[in-house]
Amino acid sequence: MAQTMRLPVRSKRLEIRATPEQKKLFERAAQIRGTSVTDFAVSKLQDAAREIIQEAECEEDRKVFFHALTNPPEPNEYAKAAVARYKRQVRG
């Protein structure tokens, strides 16, 4: 017996105001995609939101990485011991 895929229940409402031209544009795009305006809008808003969040997180990651490169912490005792061992091995 085939299992059916369960879609999440949409329980929250989101309202937007649009010009008549924007509404016609959205309706036409949804029609071309073969979907409702609601499904079209939710899909595109979700895609845009994910992209914006990802860009913001990437920017924050870049800042943290750059800060770590330009302001390295002082080496701890373990790191100092590792450098000393390496130097002894290299110098023979």
Q: What residues contact residue 40 under an 8 Å CB cut-off, 6+ apart?
A: 26, 29, 30, 33
CA distances for 77 relative to 25, 58, 68, angstroms:
64, 32, 19
pTM: 0.61
Q: How far apart are CA 48 and CA 11, in angstroms?
A: 21
Which residue from 13, 41, 39 is spatially nearest to 25, judged by alpha carbons?
A: 41
pLDDT tens for the chain, 92 residues long, are 566 778 778 889 999 999 999 999 999 999 999 999 999 999 999 999 999 999 999 998 999 999 999 999 899 999 999 999 999 999 86
Q: Where are the domains of the chain?
A: 20-91
Q: How far apart are CA 30 and CA 36, in angstroms?
A: 6
